[in-house]
Chains A and B, each alone.
Chain A
Amino acid sequence: ELKVEQNPLFLSMQEGKNYTIYCNYSTTSDRLYWYRQDPGKSLESLFVLLSNGAVKQEGRLMASLDTKARLSTLHITAAVHDLSATYFCALRLNDMRFGAGTRLTVKP
C-alpha cells in the first residue's frame, strides 16, 4: 500500500531559525509536490520535483528529492512569521497521495 509520511506533524520554531520537514514515501515515483495551506484557505503549489537530485528554492524555502531513498525534504532558512502555515507533500503515481501535513508555527 502506498504511504506518504511527513514528519514532524507539528513544528514550532522561533524566527531566524532553520528547520527541515521530511517526506518519506513507500513506492517509486519521480514526481513529488509540496504545497502550502493557510488556515481556512485552499492549497498553494510551492514546488514540483521531477527527478532524482532535483532541488528548487523560493525565498526561504528549499525543496529536494532523493528518489533512491524515497525522501523529499523542505528546508526552511531563517524562518519568519509569514511562513506559519501547514505544509503538505504529495506523491503522484496514477493518482495523487498526500502526506498528513506539517503545521508550522513561527514565533517571534
Chain B
Amino acid sequence: DAGITQSPRYKITETGRQVTLMCHQTWSHSYMFWYRQDLGHGLRLIYYSAAADITDKGEVPDGYVVSRSKTENFPLTLESATRSQTSVYFCASMGVAGDNEQFFGPGTRLTVL
C-alpha cells in the first residue's frame, strides 16, 4: 500500500502486557511521529524520529519505547500497558523538502482492560 499505514487498526489488551503498534510509510520521509489522541487532550506527541536510528522524546513519552532501524518503519511499544494508555494512536511522517507537510496514518484504537 502506498502512503502511510498502521497496524493493527484495533487492539484490545490487558494491563501489564506488552503491545507493539506498527507504522510503515512508503515515501522515504525522514521524519516520523507518534501521537496519542484522547478526549479533552487533543493530540499529544509521544516520540518522533528525524532519521533512522535517531529518536527523541515528545510531550508524553513515559511508558513508551520506539525504534527506527529502517527509514520506512517506526514501531511504538508499550512495555507494560496501563489503562491510562487506552487511546487512539496516530503515526505520521514528514519529508524535509518543500512545505514539510505532515501526513497521518489511519490510527490504531487501543483499549487496555
Contacts and interface: CB of A to CB of B under 8 A. Distances in A.
Interface of A: 31, 33, 35, 42-45, 48, 50, 88, 90, 92, 94-101
Contacts of A35: 104
B48 to A, nearest CB: 6
Interface in B69-113: 90, 92, 99-107
B96 to A, nearest CB: 12
26 contacts: A31-B100, A33-B102, A35-B104, A42-B104, A44-B104, A45-B101, A45-B102, A48-B99, A48-B101, A50-B100, A88-B43, A90-B43, A90-B102, A94-B56, A95-B45, A95-B56, A95-B58, A95-B59, A96-B33, A97-B45, A97-B59, A98-B35, A98-B44, A100-B41, A100-B42, A101-B42
Contacts, number: 49
B100 A92 contact: yes
Instruction: Kindly list the 3 A-B residue pairs having the minimum CB-CB distance in the complex, ordered from nearest.
Output: A48-B99, A98-B43, A43-B104
A93 to B, nearest CB: 11
Contacts of B59: 95, 97
B80 to A, nearest CB: 25
A92 B50 CA distance: 13
Nearest to B107: A42
Contacts of B107: 42
A58 to B, nearest CB: 13
Given A88-B43, A101-B42, A96 B48 contact: yes
B105 A42 contact: yes
Contacts of A92: 100
Residue picked from B42, B48, B100, most chain A C-beta under 10 Å: B42
Contacts of B99: 48, 50
Residue picked from B33, B104, B105, B107, most chain A C-beta under 10 Å: B104
A92 B8 CA distance: 28
A45 B101 CA distance: 7
